[in-house]
């Protein structure tokens, strides 16, 4: 409520009151909310015919599924009626999923956040953080009051405790132009980052030895090129469930062209069902398998020797005594930057060579140079791989020897190959070693820089980035200290090195989704005096907030968006104004900026900002965006890794002489150095200390019914996927006297949850699974994050969601009757109860 509105409503109420008291002055005298059309000037949202013409609004979906799907929204009489996939300018990227076409139920969810609110027990002078939680009560406040409070709290917090006590948190829940990044640079403070903390294992392992990519999935050939693959290994990803709207179809194209599809997964998934060869691996044994495949490749000499000589440091000479690379200056007075010493087989002399240089270099062998014993890096790798005979690994990993060999053989000998991991293997504590292992495996088979090579389950496109000028880096902005998520917890708990006091959170339902060991976070957050949260829905995370800001649904905003995963720049036309008092995030940011003296950096009208983007980018015109919804960017299918690698040598370091030493649970105190891939395991290890007490490994896979925790509150989807369940093999269930459909207690020494058991013949005995993304209120008791440790390893620094062991037992009788089994589930469960 703005002040104006308050005045208006007060006047209206008095008018109505007067009517009730003194009699009806006229036909319309009882009206306050309604008014005669002739007084309203231009009729707004006038209902004409219900069968009126559809207006097709071009817009776009924008969660973190990487689909970047352009959508058509059909609006009739001012209301959104349905959503369809839009045919974009680059039409082969027409896409959209069950979730995208369910948006009408997100926009019109009766439990959307409607008005700004503050926790009733919170006040600037007496924040009472202990009163947060399930029982917290809220009261509606006006936008001006809410923004005043946020701005004042930022000011006071900075004044009292210094700028680093202002903590900015953003998840990945929404794409769009909000000005969030701009504002935080103008205001200062600290920020958190996925780097490190969440899903940063596989990518960093790959990056360490290739110098390519970051901590998430590495670059890969664009999807149009996937059809050229001869072998595809989907490793720990259910792409046909989690990315079926976009990347899965290209896999089928490859298959139709004759590619062999291998799926490595402990669960018989939608994706495993499509495989020519399914490797039902035991949880945590992925690096073992990669090494066994390398073993096969060495033994059968089916490695790509040309590639190894030219583009990797396989021929680099390594000192036998300390494992370091032989010093180039001992061979050449003027060695090239990053040059490696190799043994020239023709001259039997050591040479120093730079990047991208092949030649008759020995791949194996031992020599003594200047009295120093050396061997090749590849020899060290081969020695490591020799420890992982397929027969042994088959036993450890629960696989057949023949299948291991077939997978390796297909990858090495059938032509262009690809390995498509996702983030799952990185959800083990030491999952980065798998990143190193598969990057190394693909180096052996020469699968970089060729048509048909695939290195990740989703491709990235650089072209459709928006050219936003200085929008992301405003003049006068400061850079903020960044802490990985795994560090934030200790900041909150220990105040070291800084103690956050004020938190602005957006695009995120971390307490409902990606913060392991939930109780620890809830306690740690009591050190915050003020928590401000912007969202479309009331999530388990906004329940912890002191000030709640209702954000607009995507269809209620106007925006211009790049696309990371297909060559279309997308336009969002506004389907209608935000409902109730929800607001575009931009207006929230601009409102705070104005109050903090940065109003000049945020034009009143967001359109002005978008206009700058469009004017700034030769490829774009408003006309084209509005007409088509998308603008195709000029990109031809690209092959990744055609140039020198980003490592110091420009080569893939199949032998990493500069390897870090990993330390953490299950490892010797001195740690393990990772020159070559070494399978490291924590809780999945066969000899893990608590494995008898907690024998089952607990995984939380992505499902096709949610993107992270979004869409959990959509009735159409809840009709099919009603409640959190535990996939459990009937064998494991029967051992525990658990019948199909009974409620079970899943627990370990950290926490527990109660969910319904779902017999699944396709899940490996010894493994259980609850799909991720359920909200706290969806559980009969507890939450799937409760049993998961928030501990991270020295090198990995990544939350290990799947590195979790639990025991499962039939839940107590009182839980067998609950919100899902009672006749009237309204309010706690069922389709409309919310929860994301």
Residues 711-750 touching other proteins, rule: CB under 8 A, are: 715-716, 719-721, 727, 729, 740
Question: Which one, 6 or 373, has the nearer CB to other proteins?
Answer: 6
> Comparing C-alpha atoms, which of 228, 249, 227, 253 is closest to residue 240?
249
Q: How many CB atoms lie within 10 A of CB 415?
A: 18
Question: Which one, 184 or 729, has the nearer CB to other proteins?
Answer: 729
Compute the least distance from the CB of residue 566 to other proteins, in Å: 15
In this structure, the chain runs to a length of 836
Give yes or no for residue 249 binding other proteins (CB under 8 A).
yes
Distance CA 102, CA 76 (A): 17
Q: Provide the edge-to-edge strand list for the sheet that holds 417-421.
A: 277-279, 260-264, 231-235, 417-421
Where helices occur in 617-729 by DSSP H, the ranges are 622-628, 715-720
Give yes or no for residue 704 binding other proteins (CB under 8 A).
yes
Q: Going residue by residue from 431 to 470, which x/- string records binding to other proteins, judged by CB under 8 A?
A: ----------------------------------------
- Binding residue for other proteins, selected from 369, 372, 498, 579, defined by CB under 8 A: 579
C-beta separation of 671 from 680 below 8 A: no
The dihedral formed by the CA atoms of 617, 622, 628 and 629, expressed in degrees to the nearest 10: 80
The β-bridge partners of 57 are 73
Report the Cα 628 to chain-centroid distance in Å.
29
Q: For other proteins, which stretch binds (CB under 8 A), given 192-200, 575-583, 596-604, 605-613? A: 575-583
Q: Please, how many CA atoms are within 13 Å of residue 666, restricted to the half-sphere of its CB?
A: 20
- Binding residue for other proteins, selected from 34, 321, 333, 479, defined by CB under 8 A: 34
Residues 68-127 that bind other proteins (CB under 8 A): 76-77, 79-82, 84-85, 91-92, 95-98, 101, 104-105, 108-115, 117, 120
Question: Which one, 166 or 757, has the nearer CB to other proteins?
Answer: 757
User: Which strand (E) or helix (H) includes residue 532?
Assistant: strand 530-535
Task: Please classify residue 586 by burial: count the beta carbons closer than 10 Å to its beta carbon, then call 0-12 exposed, 13-18 middle and 19+ buried.
Answer: buried
Q: How many CB atoms lie within 10 A of CB 665?
A: 17
Q: For other proteins, which stretch binds (CB under 8 A), given 294-302, 521-529, 647-655, 752-760? A: 752-760
- Binding residue for other proteins, selected from 275, 313, 386, 399, defined by CB under 8 A: 399
- Binding residue for other proteins, selected from 777, 803, 807, 836, defined by CB under 8 A: 777
Q: For other proteins, which stretch binds (CB under 8 A), given 199-207, 239-247, 352-360, 631-639? A: 239-247
- Binding residue for other proteins, selected from 122, 138, 303, 711, defined by CB under 8 A: 138
Residues 536-565 that bind other proteins (CB under 8 A): 538, 542-543, 548
Distance CA 107, CA 555 (A): 8
Compute the least distance from the CB of residue 836 to other proteins, in Å: 12
- Binding residue for other proteins, selected from 252, 369, 498, 522, defined by CB under 8 A: 252
Residues 308-367 that bind other proteins (CB under 8 A): none
Q: For other proteins, which stretch binds (CB under 8 A), given 244-252, 334-342, 452-460, 622-630? A: 244-252
Give yes or no for residue 637 binding other proteins (CB under 8 A).
no
Question: Which one, 79 or 490, has the nearer CB to other proteins?
Answer: 79
Give Cα separations from 560 to 74, 84, 90, 655 (angstroms).
Answer: 19, 19, 17, 45
Give yes or no for residue 497 binding other proteins (CB under 8 A).
no
Distance CA 397, CA 821 (A): 39
> Comparing C-alpha atoms, which of 703, 706, 763 is closest to residue 241?
703
Compute the least distance from the CB of residue 382 to other proteins, in Å: 25
C-beta separation of 153 from 491 below 8 A: no
Give yes or no for residue 413 binding other proteins (CB under 8 A).
no
Residues 10-29 that bind other proteins (CB under 8 A): 10-14, 16-17, 19-24, 26-29
DSSP symbols for 286-320:
HHHHHHHHHHHHHHTT-S-HHHHHHHBSTT-EEET
Q: Going residue by residue from 153 to 182, which x/- string records binding to other proteins, judged by CB under 8 A?
A: ------------------------------
- Binding residue for other proteins, selected from 125, 126, 130, 137, defined by CB under 8 A: 137
Question: Which one, 432 or 718, has the nearer CB to other proteins?
Answer: 718
Q: Going residue by residue from 654 to 693, which x/- string records binding to other proteins, judged by CB under 8 A?
A: ----------------------------------------
Collapsed DSSP state (helix, strand, coil) of residue 673: strand
Question: Which one, 24 or 690, has the nearer CB to other proteins?
Answer: 24
Question: Which one, 136 or 522, has the nearer CB to other proteins?
Answer: 136
Q: For other proteins, which stretch binds (CB under 8 A), given 170-178, 240-248, 345-353, 789-797? A: 240-248
Compute the least distance from the CB of residue 410 to other proteins, in Å: 16
Q: Which residues contact 308 (CB under 8 A, 6 or more apart)?
A: 314, 315, 363, 378, 443, 444, 446, 654
Q: Which long-range contacts (CB under 8 A, 24 or more apart) does 332-340 make?
A: 337/648, 338/647, 338/648, 338/649, 338/650, 339/649, 340/313, 340/315, 340/316, 340/649, 340/651
Q: For other proteins, which stretch binds (CB under 8 A), given 42-50, 443-451, 610-618, 638-646? A: 42-50
Report the Cα 227 to chain-centroid distance in Å.
26
Report the Cα 141 to chain-centroid distance in Å.
33
Residues 254-293 that bind other proteins (CB under 8 A): 255-256, 268, 270, 272-274, 279-280
Question: Which one, 71 or 331, has the nearer CB to other proteins?
Answer: 71
Per-residue three-class SS string for 348-394: CEEEEECCCCCCCECCCCEEEECCEEEEEHHHHHHHHHHCCCHHHHH
Compute the least distance from the CB of residue 339 to other proteins, in Å: 44
Distance CA 156, CA 158 (A): 5
Question: Which one, 356 or 740, has the nearer CB to other proteins?
Answer: 740
Compute the least distance from the CB of residue 750 to other proteins, in Å: 26
Question: Which one, 106 or 651, has the nearer CB to other proteins?
Answer: 106
Distance CA 519, CA 515 (A): 9
Give yes or no for residue 518 binding other proteins (CB under 8 A).
no
Number of residues that bind other proteins (CB under 8 A): 134
C-beta separation of 291 from 380 below 8 A: no
Distance CA 450, CA 640 (A): 8
Give yes or no for residue 392 binding other proteins (CB under 8 A).
no
Give yes or no for residue 36 binding other proteins (CB under 8 A).
yes
Give yes or no for residue 241 binding other proteins (CB under 8 A).
yes
Give yes or no for residue 759 binding other proteins (CB under 8 A).
yes
- Binding residue for other proteins, selected from 212, 230, 265, 581, defined by CB under 8 A: 581
């Amino acid at each position: 409520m703005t002040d104006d509105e308050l005045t208006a409503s007060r006047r209206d109420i008095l008018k109505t009151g007067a009517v009730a008291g003194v009699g009806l002055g006229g036909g319309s005298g009882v009206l306050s909310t309604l008014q005669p059309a002739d007084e309203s000037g231009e009729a707004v949202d006038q209902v004409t015919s219900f069968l009126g013409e559809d207006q097709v609004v071009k817009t776009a979906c924008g969660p973190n599924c990487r689909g970047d799907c352009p959508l058509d929204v059909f609006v009739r009489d001012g209301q959104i009626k349905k959503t369809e996939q839009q045919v974009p300018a680059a039409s082969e990227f027409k896409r959209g999923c069950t979730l995208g076409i369910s948006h009408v139920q997100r926009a019109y969810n009766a439990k959307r956040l409607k008005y700004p609110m503050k926790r009733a027990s919170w006040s600037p002078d007496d924040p009472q953080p202990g009163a947060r939680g399930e029982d917290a009560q809220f009261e509606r406040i006006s936008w001006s009051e809410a923004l005043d409070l946020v701005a004042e709290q930022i000011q006071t917090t900075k004044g009292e405790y210094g700028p680093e006590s202002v903590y900015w948190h953003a998840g990945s829940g929404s794409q769009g132009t909000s000005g969030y990044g701009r504002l935080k640079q103008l205001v200062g403070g600290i920020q958190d980052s996925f780097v490190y903390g969440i899903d940063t294992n596989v990518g960093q392992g790959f990056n360490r030895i290739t110098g390519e990519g970051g901590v998430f999935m590495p670059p890969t050939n664009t999807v149009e090129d996937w059809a050229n693959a001869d072998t595809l290994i989907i490793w720990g990803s259910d792409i046909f469930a989690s990315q079926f709207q976009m990347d899965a179809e290209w896999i089928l194209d490859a298959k139709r062209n004759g590619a062999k599809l291998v799926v490595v997964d402990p669960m018989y998934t939608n994706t495993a069902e499509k495989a020519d060869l399914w490797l039902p691996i035991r949880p945590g044994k992925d690096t073992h398998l990669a090494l066994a495949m390398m073993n096969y490749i060495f033994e059968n000499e089916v490695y790509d020797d040309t590639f190894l000589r030219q583009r990797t440091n396989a021929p680099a000479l390594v000192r036998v005594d300390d494992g370091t690379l032989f010093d180039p200056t001992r061979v050449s007075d003027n060695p090239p930057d990053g040059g490696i010493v190799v043994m020239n087989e023709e001259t039997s002399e050591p040479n120093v060579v730079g990047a991208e240089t092949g030649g008759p270099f020995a791949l194996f062998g031992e020599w003594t140079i200047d009295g120093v014993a050396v061997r090749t890096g590849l020899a060290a790798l081969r020695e490591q791989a020799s420890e992982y005979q397929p027969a042994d690994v088959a036993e450890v990993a629960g696989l057949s020897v023949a299948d291991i060999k077939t997978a390796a053989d297909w990858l090495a000998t059938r032509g262009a190959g690809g390995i498509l991991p996702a983030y799952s293997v990185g959800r083990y504590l030491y999952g980065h070693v798998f990143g190193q292992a598969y990057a190394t495996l693909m180096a052996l088979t020469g699968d970089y820089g060729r048509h048909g090579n695939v290195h990740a389950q989703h491709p990235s496109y650089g072209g459709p980035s928006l050219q936003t000028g200085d929008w992301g880096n405003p003049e006068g902005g400061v850079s903020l200290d960044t802490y990985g998520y795994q560090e934030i917890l200790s900041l909150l708990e220990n105040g070291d090195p800084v103690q956050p006091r004020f938190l602005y959170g957006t695009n995120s339902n971390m307490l409902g989704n990606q913060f392991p060991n939930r109780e620890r976070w809830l306690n740690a957050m009591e050190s915050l005096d003020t928590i401000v949260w912007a969202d479309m829905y009331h999530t388990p995370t906004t329940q912890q907030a002191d000030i709640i800001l209702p954000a607009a649904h995507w269809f209620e905003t106007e925006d211009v968006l790049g696309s990371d995963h297909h060559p279309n720049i997308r336009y969002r036309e506004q389907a209608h104004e935000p409902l109730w008092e929800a607001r575009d995030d931009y207006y929230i940011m601009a409102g705070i900026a104005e109050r903090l003296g940065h109003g000049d950096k945020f034009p009143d009208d967001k359109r002005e900002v978008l206009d700058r983007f469009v004017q700034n980018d030769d490829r774009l015109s408003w006309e084209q965006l509005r007409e088509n919804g998308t603008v195709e960017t000029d990109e031809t299918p690209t092959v990744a890794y055609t140039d020198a690698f980003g490592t110091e040598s420009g080569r893939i370091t199949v032998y990493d002489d500069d390897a870090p030493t990993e330390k953490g649970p299950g490892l010797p105190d001195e740690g393990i150095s990772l020159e070559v891939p070494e399978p490291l395991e924590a809780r999945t290890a066969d000899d893990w200390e608590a494995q008898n007490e907690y024998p089952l490994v607990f995984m939380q896979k992505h499902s096709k019914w949610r993107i992270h925790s979004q869409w959990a509150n959509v009735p159409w989807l809840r009709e099919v996927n009603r409640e959190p369940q535990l996939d459990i093999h009937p064998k494991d269930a029967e051992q525990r006297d658990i019948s199909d459909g009974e409620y079970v207690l899943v627990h370990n020494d950290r926490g527990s949850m109660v969910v319904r058991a779902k017999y699944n013949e396709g899940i490996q005995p010894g493994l259980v699974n609850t799909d991720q993304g359920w909200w706290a209120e969806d559980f009969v008791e507890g939450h799937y994050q409760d049993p998961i440790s928030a501990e991270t390893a020295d090198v990995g620094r990544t939350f290990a969601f799947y590195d979790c062991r639990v025991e499962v037992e039939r839940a107590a009788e009182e839980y067998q009757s609950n919100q899902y089994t009672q006749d009237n589930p309204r309010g706690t469960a069922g389709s409309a109860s919310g929860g994301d």
